[in-house]
């Protein structure tokens, strides 16, 4: 691969790319030969080239070609392990080969109406026209796939200065950012996502365009917005991406509750406002995630969303007290409702909404633990209410300690250590992960001689409350308590 430009880091970047691409040698050589024999040009493009230069290329490879969609389909039908043509009307085919997932797209020369983000699809005939329509210059580089060159790797092509931008770790647009973002406003959110994923900054002119054009994000479907937000939050530095969104006004369009926290002063962390505190909690929650590959390790989208949103109820509950202090009573209740409403608007799954909102709701409960004075009943309820979210709740509560007072921070962590120890002790004696009454619904109906109906549910709930308060009961004790409750209730059997 020849050097396209000079620069202190260029040889290292190209060497990293060579190593990355050599891992896909068999696929590149085979695919290149397939297209070359039919007289078609083929290039590795976009994020694949960028990631190869950064030494972070995975198994997803993107290609561009002058071959038309139906020509590609005919070429690939006998070579691919798997073939997906759901994007063929846009010139794209998906291919599975040797564990790699390839995406091949005919050169594009689309035009946009500057009203929707849907292009007037037009196929092009050359690489330059295809590259200039891409979102950022670091994604507008290409490598010619040449089966006659070692590893199938041909010339490196960089007509728009992408390598220089990559060296500077800067996001800039091939055309004027106003044109690029006007064509597709989702690119503005992608800028924040790349800041999170790659650790890049945006060029000054891009920053200005983000500020001026942020309202145009309203043209984008909420599903596409949510997908970008998830990728941003799962990046290496989501705090940087979130902060860019808030500072430029993008957040006001897609996640206004986060920026609104800048207006609230956190009474527990007077050195930070609630917004900065929340970003710190997000960082600290990420630090508590286990390493990738370990059990429960790797980026945790639910935990990260909960960390970001855990205090969004504070602006709505802020109250100035007579003594000059500020309170945020029940902000966890309000915040859980706000989190649920925002995530519904973004069309997240019910499970995702339930998990994030429940963590927001529970994040403050530990602060009633004090010096370990919770009863066993309170500990059981904490575990039961958290359910399968308990390990995430542990991390969220620990991450929520951002005080600069080292003594107070040590005390909070020691208290939580004690709570976890008590949970473990109880779990060794009882099945805390599945707290249920000591007799089931069928037995309740048999003992009380009642048919299925609301009374069975009431009895079951009564026994569960006893189980939470007192721990496991023997069968005889459970029956006695059930009959006592039933007799005191005094309802006729139906």
Residues 234 and 346 in one domain: no
Residues 335 and 360 in one domain: yes
Per-residue pLDDT tens digits for 3-17 = 444 344 677 788 888
Residues 306 and 383 in one domain: yes
Q: How far, in Å, CA of 409 to CA of 1, rounded?
A: 54
Domain assignment present for 102: yes
Q: How far, in Å, CA of 85 to CA of 72, rounded?
A: 10
Residue where a domain terminates, one of 394, 410, 429: 429
Residues 223 and 313 in one domain: no
Residues 419 and 455 in one domain: no
Q: How far, in Å, CA of 484 to CA of 414, rounded?
A: 42
At residue 328 the predicted structure's pLDDT band, cuts being 50, 70 and 90, is confident
CB 136 within 8 A of CB 160: no
CB 289 within 8 A of CB 299: yes
pLDDT of residue 118: 57
Domain assignment present for 77: yes
pLDDT of residue 403: 83
CB 195 within 8 A of CB 241: yes
Residues 415 and 321 in one domain: yes
Q: Is 188 exposed, middle or buried (0-12, 13-18, 19+ CB in 10 A)?
A: buried
Domain assignment present for 336: yes
Q: Which domain holds residue 382?
A: 289-429
CB 205 within 8 A of CB 170: no
CATH number at residue 189: 1.10.110.30
| Greater model confidence, 10 or 457 | 457
pLDDT of residue 270: 47
pLDDT at 112 over 70: no
Domain assignment present for 383: yes
At residue 494 the predicted structure's pLDDT band, cuts being 50, 70 and 90, is very low
pLDDT at 326 over 80: no
At residue 80 the predicted structure's pLDDT band, cuts being 50, 70 and 90, is very high
Where is average pLDDT lowest: 90-94, 239-243, 454-458?
454-458
First-to-final CA distance of the chain: 84
Q: In whole angstroms, what separates CA 423 from the centre of its chain?
A: 29
Residues 162 and 194 in one domain: no
pLDDT of residue 5: 40
pLDDT of residue 7: 42
Q: How many domains does the chain have?
A: 4
Task: Give backbone dihedrals phi and psi of 54, rounded to 5 degrees, phi first.
Answer: -85, 0
Residues 416 and 452 in one domain: no
pLDDT of residue 377: 83
pLDDT of residue 309: 98
Residues 139 and 21 in one domain: yes
pLDDT at 330 over 80: yes
Residues 31 and 154 in one domain: yes
Domain assignment present for 318: yes
pLDDT at 75 over 50: yes
pLDDT of residue 225: 97
CB 116 within 8 A of CB 107: no
Q: What is the pTM of this model?
A: 0.83
pLDDT of residue 228: 98
Domain assignment present for 4: no
pLDDT at 267 over 60: no
Per-residue pLDDT tens digits for 343-352 = 999 999 999 9
Domain assignment present for 30: yes
Report strand pairing: 100-106 vs 60-65.
parallel
pLDDT of residue 212: 97
CB 356 within 8 A of CB 309: yes
pLDDT at 269 over 60: no
Per-residue pLDDT tens digits for 352-382 = 999 999 999 999 988 877 655 788 888 888 8
pLDDT of residue 23: 93
Tokens found for residue 253: 């369009």
pLDDT at 452 over 90: no
pLDDT of residue 122: 73
Residues 24 and 140 in one domain: yes
Where is average pLDDT lowest: 210-214, 217-221, 303-307, 410-414?
410-414
pLDDT of residue 437: 66
At residue 455 the predicted structure's pLDDT band, cuts being 50, 70 and 90, is confident
Per-residue pLDDT tens digits for 275-289 = 999 999 999 999 999
pLDDT at 265 over 70: no
Domain assignment present for 2: no
Residue where a domain terminates, one of 168, 195, 218: 168
Average pLDDT, the chain: 87
Residues 107 and 250 in one domain: no
pLDDT at 296 over 90: no
Give the gyration radius of the chain's Cα atoms.
29
CB 335 within 8 A of CB 309: yes
Where is average pLDDT lowest: 13-22, 222-231, 280-289?
13-22
At residue 438 the predicted structure's pLDDT band, cuts being 50, 70 and 90, is low
Per-residue pLDDT tens digits for 197-206 = 999 999 999 9
pLDDT at 33 over 60: yes
CB 447 within 8 A of CB 473: no
pLDDT of residue 308: 98
pLDDT of residue 255: 97
Q: Which residue has the tokens 């969303």?
A: 305
Residue where a domain terminates, one of 133, 168, 203: 168
């Amino acid at each position: 691969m020849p050097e396209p430009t000079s620069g202190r880091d260029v040889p290292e970047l190209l060497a990293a790319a060579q190593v990355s691409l050599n891992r896909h040698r068999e696929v590149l050589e085979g695919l290149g030969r397939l297209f070359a024999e039919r007289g078609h040009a083929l290039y590795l493009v976009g994020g694949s080239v960028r990631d190869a230069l950064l030494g972070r290329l995975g198994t997803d490879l993107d290609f561009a070609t002058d071959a038309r969609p139906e020509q590609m389909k005919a070429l690939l039908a006998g070579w691919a392990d798997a073939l997906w043509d759901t994007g063929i009307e846009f010139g794209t085919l998906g291919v599975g080969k040797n564990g790699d997932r390839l995406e091949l797209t005919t050169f594009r020369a689309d035009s946009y109406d500057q009203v929707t983000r849907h292009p007037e699809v037009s196929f092009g005939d050359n690489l330059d026209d295809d590259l200039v329509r891409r979102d950022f210059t670091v994604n507008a580089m290409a490598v010619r796939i040449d089966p006659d060159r070692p590893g199938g790797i041909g010339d490196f092509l960089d007509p728009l200065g992408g390598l220089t931008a990559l060296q500077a770790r800067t996001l800039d647009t091939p055309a004027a950012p106003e044109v690029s973002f006007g064509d597709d406003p989702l690119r503005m959110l992608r800028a924040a996502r790349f800041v999170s994923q790659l650790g890049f900054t945006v060029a000054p002119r891009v920053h200005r365009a983000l500020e001026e054009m942020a309202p145009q994000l309203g043209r984008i479907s909420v599903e596409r917005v949510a997908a970008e937000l998830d990728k941003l939050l799962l990046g290496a530095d989501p705090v940087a991406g979130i902060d860019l969104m808030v500072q430029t006004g993008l957040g006001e369009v897609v996640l206004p509750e986060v920026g609104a926290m800048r207006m609230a002063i956190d009474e527990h962390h007077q050195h930070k406002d609630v917004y900065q505190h929340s970003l710190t909690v997000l960082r600290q929650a990420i630090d508590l995630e286990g390493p990738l590959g370990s059990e429960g390790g790797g980026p945790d989208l639910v935990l990260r969303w909960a960390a970001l949103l855990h205090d969004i109820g504070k602006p709505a509950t802020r109250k100035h007290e007579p003594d000059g202090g500020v309170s945020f009573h029940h902000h966890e209740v309000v915040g859980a409702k706000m989190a649920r409403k925002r995530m519904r608007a973004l069309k997240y799954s019910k499970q995702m909404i339930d998990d994030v909102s429940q963590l927001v709701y529970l994040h403050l409960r530990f602060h009633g633990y004090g010096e370990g004075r919770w009863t066993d009943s309170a500990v059981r309820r904490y575990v039961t209410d958290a359910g399968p979210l308990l390990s995430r709740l542990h991390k969220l509560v620990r991450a929520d300690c951002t005080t600069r007072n080292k003594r107070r921070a040590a005390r909070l962590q020691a208290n939580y250590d004690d709570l976890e120890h008590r949970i473990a002790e109880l779990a060794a004696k009882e099945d805390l992960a599945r707290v249920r009454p000591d007799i089931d619904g069928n037995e309740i109906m048999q003992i009380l001689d009642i048919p299925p109906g609301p009374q069975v549910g009431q009895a079951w709930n009564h026994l569960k409350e006893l189980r939470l308060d007192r721990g496991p009961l023997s069968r005889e004790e459970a029956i006695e308590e059930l009959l006592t409750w039933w007799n005191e209730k005094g309802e006729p059997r139906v």
